[in-house]
Amino acid sequence: MDRRTFLTYNAAAAAVPLSSMALTGLADAASAAARPAPLDFKSNLPAAGSFPEKWICGSPSCMDNTDPPVQVHWYNPHTAILRQNKAYSYEAPFAPLYFGNDRVLLLDEGFVQLRNDWDLRGVVDQCIDDWCRRNGRDPASLELLVAFSHLHADHYAATNQFADRPNTRYMGLTHEEMVGFWGMTNFPEERVTLDLGGRDILIWGSPGHVVSEFAYYDSYTQILYTGDMFYRGRCYISFWQPWFDSMKRLIDFCDTHPVTHVMGCHVEISRDGQDYTYGMTYQPDEAPVEMTVQQLREAFAYAQTITEPGIYFTGTVFLCNQTRGTTTIDKNPYRYS
């Protein structure tokens, strides 16, 4: 497939023709006949679910860490949230895995590339197998979409592990491929709907931390996934005005849609608001990853008062306005006069 075809052959638009095409194969038709009734993702919303009390959060000595490379938490039977082990990468990003009747969406692929270093592919395959077993499906009948929140290596590093996976599409590593993957023509304002098979994911542009970033809203759990643009830690704002506009879009969205949780990609802050320095591999008392809409609104209200570059604490997150390359939060503890 050449680049031009790839861009037009986007996942969202191809959804309908693909599933009907699959019926033409005899084996596929047989498996489709044996398929149980589709799951209903549209009533009794929002679907109940829960976050864990405590995620795996590293250890004082990395080489003595006995946690799994990836923690898999089932938020509810049709939604898993993955977290990378801090001893595998200090970035320890979170990655939602949304299941629909026809396809599965993986958002973010961690910060370690090689499969023999950490087997993300195996973990995701296992999750899909488990889900299929519980729901009487054939894993081969589900398409996997490997996408990411934004164009940073701690969110796409393991994408290549899925390159040879059958029935899988993965997002390309350029802005054009990312936007094309969701079939957008008017980034960032345009909001597209991805149908996972009865489960709609709303996607729109959310630049500011980087140019190429999306916000993802799952209409089933009503979780708003904001990537690195807004998360419980240091929101590194590279471009203030696009970021502010993106915040405005999030607020507008929350005004018109029910949102249960706002969820970012990382946690870099303790329960009592203490900053976990960039690069730390042990966060014993870290804050929950999920935030409320109220916290998002407070941060936006705070952001409206910001006129200068600098680091600001909104009570929930640090807004690091254009400070990435020049300053950080913590100080030398051994200063004396």
Three-state DSSP string of 34-72: CCCCCCCCCCCCCCCCCCCCCCCCECCCHHHCCCCCEEE
- End-to-end alpha carbon distance in the chain: 66
User: Pattern of binders to other proteins over 234-273, x per CB under 8 A?
Assistant: ----------------------------------------
Q: How far is the CB of 118 from other proteins (least distance, A)?
A: 7
In angstroms, rounded to a whole number, what is the distance separating the alpha carbons of residues 187 and 60?
Answer: 43
Structure tokens at 214: 């999306």
Structure tokens at 288: 């929950």
Q: Which is nearer to other proteins, 158 or 250 (CB)?
A: 158
Residue 285 within binding range of other proteins, rule CB under 8 A = no
Q: Taking contact as CB under 8 A, which single stretch among the options 75-83, 136-144, 164-172, 323-331 is the one that binds other proteins?
A: 323-331
Residue 148 within binding range of other proteins, rule CB under 8 A = no
User: Pattern of binders to other proteins over 178-217, x per CB under 8 A?
Assistant: ----------------------------------------
Which residues, in sequence order, are CB contacts of 97 under 8 Å at separation 6+?
79, 80, 81, 82, 104, 105, 106, 107, 124, 127
Q: Taking contact as CB under 8 A, which single stretch among the options 30-38, 59-67, 142-150, 207-215 is the one that binds other proteins?
A: 59-67
Q: Which is nearer to other proteins, 18 or 329 (CB)?
A: 329
Residue 313 within binding range of other proteins, rule CB under 8 A = no
Report the SS3 class of residue 332.
Answer: coil
Please name every residue paired with 312 in a beta bridge, in sequence order, or none if there are none.
319
Element (H, E) at 253: helix 240-256
Residue 113 within binding range of other proteins, rule CB under 8 A = yes
In angstroms, rounded to a whole number, what is the distance separating the alpha carbons of residues 58 and 283?
Answer: 6
Q: How far is the CB of 312 from other proteins (least distance, A)?
A: 16
Q: How far is the CB of 173 from other proteins (least distance, A)?
A: 14
Q: How far is the CB of 119 from other proteins (least distance, A)?
A: 11
Q: What are phi and psi of 26, to 5 degrees?
A: -65, -45
Q: Taking contact as CB under 8 A, which single stretch among the options 25-33, 65-73, 133-141, 314-322 is the one that binds other proteins?
A: 65-73
Residue type for 188, please? P
In angstroms, rounded to a whole number, what is the distance separating the alpha carbons of residues 37 and 7?
Answer: 33
From 61, 126, 294, 304, residue interacting with other proteins (rule: CB under 8 A) = 61
Interacting residues with other proteins (CB under 8 A): 60-65, 67, 69, 85, 87-90, 112-114, 117-118, 157, 277-281, 325-332, 334-337
